[in-house]
């Protein structure tokens, strides 16, 4: 056992002075220093002791504290503190065992703290370590989650971009069928069709020696004598019918203007804000069908193409521009064909070459309204449309595409001449104040303010129509079935439909009586929208190309324009959506246009201007009438009088009526006498005093 000398010089053992714990501490320290003597008195801290204390203190500081984290300052014990502790140890030996025990506790903690202070500091240190560890773990978790989210977002964005690029590449890449691809010498072409609509181009315009290109096109292609439009025979419903294969009652565009009671909105064709919302346009048009099946399309001003239908856009959409000259339309079409194909060098996904090109040409319709379908001005417009087609066909020939690209030329309806003498005042038929909305033109769809008044109003107008043969009156319930114009809420419940060449106008637009007094002219001079089966409303269809492998000049039976959608879909190799058409390619010719049994070209007569009938006709004398009657009797007896008589106030009847019984000479004479009598009564009524009441009639 170790011993040491006290101040009195007596040797004492460690066990006599310290407790058991103190002896253990002291002996351990002595054992560590055994064999080491630096010449210092026993019990005094050496430099090594100071170094040990400093090392242990530094280790504890690093384990329990982060400098500056909790705002605590590290405690360092150097040699000065060791000397102070040694001095206290000396004083403890003088004051006895109690002070010695205190000294040993101070030396054990190395900073002179009591056991309770050590315990308290140890607890606080543990809490600080736990708090620091927890905070570090939370911070580490936050950093991990933040990095995970950032990387996740990056991955998701990358996948979206990859998917978008994939979709673009898929859509821009047409279905390539090696057997269907044909080379023009410089590029491979998939099935491609150009569809051109000549708005307002009446079928008999082809018989006026104004269209050499179209007539030659017919000789090389396939066509019916005419194509029937759909009812009503106006532009927007018919162009969308050709694009969808649906009747107007099915696709919802039931007129150029109409009211939707469910939406409480009005459609008006010349106002984009009221016509280009997709909710107006039902069904699936050609460009949507093509794009769904990865066949790219280019639509040039076609009605409805700017409406974002089904949120599927054509590859190219050209907005309507009524002032665009026709050669620019040709340049646009040929420019689209000149784009690189899917297998060509330099092809771009964002600039594909379309397989469907549909172009709208408004010029003939515009001038037909302005000048009339039989005017001098319309002749030059018809010729200009034919010249445009010539430029296109020459361009195809120069590119060696004549037998590779299909070309289909159509129109949407015909045109009839109007005149101030054939305008009916709306106020003479109904009281406009009884109706909430008036739809359409030249036909009138009426929506009563009170639906309970519908039957009464219908009977009222129908009664007046009995004495006005130039109009027809229908409810939706008795609308002719062939019109296919009843099964849609956008169709007004009551309709007044004028005969071809007649018009209905309210006084705000055209006062009939004032116009007659002043000799005013009614505008427009040409009108359409009548019975779609009337000869004046007939349209055209002519096709040529690899999808129409028929003999040149082939003739098919007339069909309605609901069939066009299927024909175009088949020509570019896409599957049509459900529609009202039934024809599919190949078409089935019934012969050639040059066959003897082919019906002759028919040029229907426009209505005659009743206001000028008697002014331009010299009234015959009674003797001349009798002489004429005698000659007619002889002609009738010999069978030479076979043609029906067309009255001045009506248009020529359809061809089907030409087989009716001929009018006898006596009936003809009676009608002429009635006409003379009416003219005389009118003249006397207008020019003689007392309204001619004292003058006997003839």
**Residue 155, φ and ψ in degrees, nearest 5:** -65, -45
Average pLDDT of the residues in 543-547: 97
Residue 371 has pLDDT above 60, yes or no: yes
Of 163 and 598, which is predicted with more confidence? 598
The beta-carbon contacts of 595-600 under 8 Å, at least 24 apart in sequence, are 595/555, 598/555, 599/225
| Ranges 165-174, 181-190, 247-256, 495-504: which has the least confidence | 165-174
The size of the chain, in residues, is: 698
Q: Indicate if the pLDDT at residue 324 is higher than 80.
A: yes
Residue 300: which residues within 8 A CB-CB, separation 6 or more? 318, 329, 332, 333, 357, 358, 359, 360
* Residue 611, pLDDT above cutoff 50: no
| Average confidence score pLDDT of the chain | 79
Spatial CB neighbours of 201, under 8 Å, sequence gap ≥ 6: 364, 365, 382, 385, 411, 414, 539, 540
Class of domain 419-523 (CATH, top level): alpha beta
Give the containing element (helix H, strand E) for 92. Answer: helix 79-95
Beta bridge partners of 437: 447
> How many contiguous H segments (helices) and E segments (strands) does the chain have?
19, 25
What are the residues whose beta carbons fall under 8 Å from the beta carbon of 117, sequence distance 6 or more? 109
Q: pLDDT tens digits for 58-110? A: 656 655 554 444 444 444 444 455 455 555 544 544 444 444 444 444 444 44
pLDDT at 111: 44
For 417, the enclosing helix (H) or strand (E) is: strand 416-417
Question: What percent of the chain is modeled with pLDDT above 90?
Answer: 59
> Catalytic annotation on 235?
yes
Across 6-10, 393-397, 489-493, least confident range: 6-10
> Does residue 363 carry a pLDDT above 50?
yes
CA-based angle 539:284:475, to the nearest 5? 60
Residue 48 pLDDT? 58
* Active-site annotation holder among 235, 244, 289, 417: 235
pLDDT higher than threshold 70 for residue 338: yes
Question: Please, which residues bridge with residue 4 across strands?
Answer: 12
Over residues 205-235, the pLDDT tens digits come to 999 999 999 999 999 999 999 999 999 999 9
Q: Where are the domains of the chain?
A: 3-113, 173-417+529-607, 419-523, 613-692
Query: Residue 465: which of 501, 436, 428, 439 has the closest Cα?
Result: 428
Radius of gyration of the chain (CA): 51
Ranking 9-13, 38-42, 543-547, 646-650 by mean pLDDT, the lowest is 646-650
Is residue 352 pLDDT above 50, yes or no? yes
**Class in CATH terms, 173-417+529-607:** alpha beta
CA trace torsion 448, 450, 451, 457 (10° rounding): -50
Would you say residue 645 has pLDDT above 50?
no
Fold match, 173-417+529-607 / 419-523: no
First CA to last CA across the chain, in angstroms? 169
Query: In this predicted model, which residue has the larger pLDDT, 48 or 519?
Result: 519
Q: How confident is the model at residue 679 (pLDDT cuts 50, 70, 90)?
A: low
Tell me the two tokens of residue 424: 């009916």
pTM for this prediction: 0.66
3-state helix, strand, coil in the chain (%, to 5): 45, 15, 40
- 658-664 mean pLDDT: 41
Please tell me the distance from the alpha carbon of residue 27 to that of residue 42, in angstroms, as a whole number: 13
Average pLDDT over residues 171-200: 82
């Amino acid at each position: 056992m170790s011993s040491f000398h006290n101040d009195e010089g007596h040797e004492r053992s460690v066990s006599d002075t310290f407790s058991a714990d103190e002896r253990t501490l002291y002996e351990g320290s002595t054992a560590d220093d055994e064999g080491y003597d630096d010449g210092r008195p026993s019990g005094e801290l050496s430099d090594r002791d100071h170094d040990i204390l400093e090392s242990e203190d530094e280790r504890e500081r690093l384990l329990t504290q982060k400098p500056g984290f909790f705002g605590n300052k590290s405690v360092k014990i150097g040699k000065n503190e060791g000397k102070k502790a040694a001095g206290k140890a000396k004083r403890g030996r003088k004051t006895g065992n109690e002070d010695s025990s205190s000294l040993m506790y101070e030396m054990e903690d190395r900073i002179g703290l009591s056991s309770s202070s050590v315990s308290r500091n140890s607890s606080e240190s543990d809490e600080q370590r736990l708090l620091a560890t927890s905070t570090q773990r939370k911070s580490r978790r936050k950093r991990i989650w933040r990095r995970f989210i950032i990387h996740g977002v990056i991955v998701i964005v990358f996948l979206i971009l990859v998917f978008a690029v994939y979709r673009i590449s898929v859509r821009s890449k047409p279905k390539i069928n090696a057997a269907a691809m044909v080379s023009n010498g410089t590029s491979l072409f998939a099935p491609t069709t150009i569809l051109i609509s000549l708005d307002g181009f009446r079928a008999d315009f082809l018989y006026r020696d104004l269209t050499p290109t179209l007539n030659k096109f017919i000789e090389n292609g396939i066509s019916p004598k005419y194509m029937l439009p759909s009812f009503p025979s106006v532009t927007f419903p018919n162009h969308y019918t050709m694009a969808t294969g649906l009747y107007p009652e099915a696709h919802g565009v039931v007129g150029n203007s109409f009211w939707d009671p469910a939406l409480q909105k009005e459609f008006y064709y010349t106002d984009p804000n009221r016509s280009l919302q997709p909710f107006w346009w039902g069904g699936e048009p050609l460009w949507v069908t093509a794009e769904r099946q990865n066949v790219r399309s280019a639509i040039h001003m076609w009605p409805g193409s700017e409406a974002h239908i089904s949120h599927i856009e054509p590859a190219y959409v050209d907005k309507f521009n009524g002032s665009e000259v026709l050669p620019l339309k040709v340049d646009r079409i040929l420019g689209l064909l000149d784009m690189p194909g899917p297998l060509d060098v330099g092809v771009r996904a964002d600039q594909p070459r379309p397989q469907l090109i549909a172009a709208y040409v408004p010029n003939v319709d515009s001038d037909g309204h302005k000048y009339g379908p039989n005017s001098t001005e319309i002749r030059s417009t018809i010729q200009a449309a034919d010249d445009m087609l010539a430029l296109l066909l020459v361009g195809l020939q120069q590119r060696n595409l004549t037998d590779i690209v299909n070309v289909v030329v159509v129109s949407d309806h015909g045109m009839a001449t109007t005149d101030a003498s054939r305008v009916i005042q709306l106020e003479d038929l109904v009281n406009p104040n009884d109706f909430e909305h008036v739809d359409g033109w030249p036909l009138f769809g009426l929506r009563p303010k009170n639906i309970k008044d519908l039957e009464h109003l219908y009977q009222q107008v129908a009664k007046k129509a009995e004495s006005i043969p130039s109009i027809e009156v229908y409810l939706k319930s008795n609308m002719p079935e062939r019109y296919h114009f009843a099964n849609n809420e956008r169709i007004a419940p009551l309709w007044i439909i004028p005969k071809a060449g007649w018009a209905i106008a309210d006084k705000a637009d055209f006062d009939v009586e004032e116009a007659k007094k002043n000799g005013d002219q009614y505008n427009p001079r040409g009108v359409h929208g009548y019975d779609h089966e009337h000869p004046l409303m007939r349209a055209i269809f002519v096709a040529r190309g690899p999808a129409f492998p028929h003999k040149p000049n082939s003739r098919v039976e007339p069909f309605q324009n609901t069939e066009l959608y299927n024909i175009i879909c088949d020509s570019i190799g896409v599957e049509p959506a459900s529609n009202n058409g039934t024809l599919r390619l190949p078409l089935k010719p019934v012969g050639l246009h040059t066959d003897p049994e082919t019906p002759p070209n028919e040029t229907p007569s426009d209505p005659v201007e009743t206001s000028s009938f008697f002014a331009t006709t010299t009234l015959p004398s009674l003797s001349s009438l009798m002489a004429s009657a005698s000659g007619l009797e002889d002609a009738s007896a010999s069978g030479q009088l076979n043609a029906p008589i067309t009255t001045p106030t009506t248009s020529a009847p359809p061809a089907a009526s030409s087989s009716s019984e001929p009018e006898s000479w006596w009936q003809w004479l009676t009608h002429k006498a009635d006409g003379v009598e009416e003219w005389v009564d009118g003249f006397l009524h207008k020019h003689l005093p007392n309204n001619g009441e004292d003058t006997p009639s003839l």
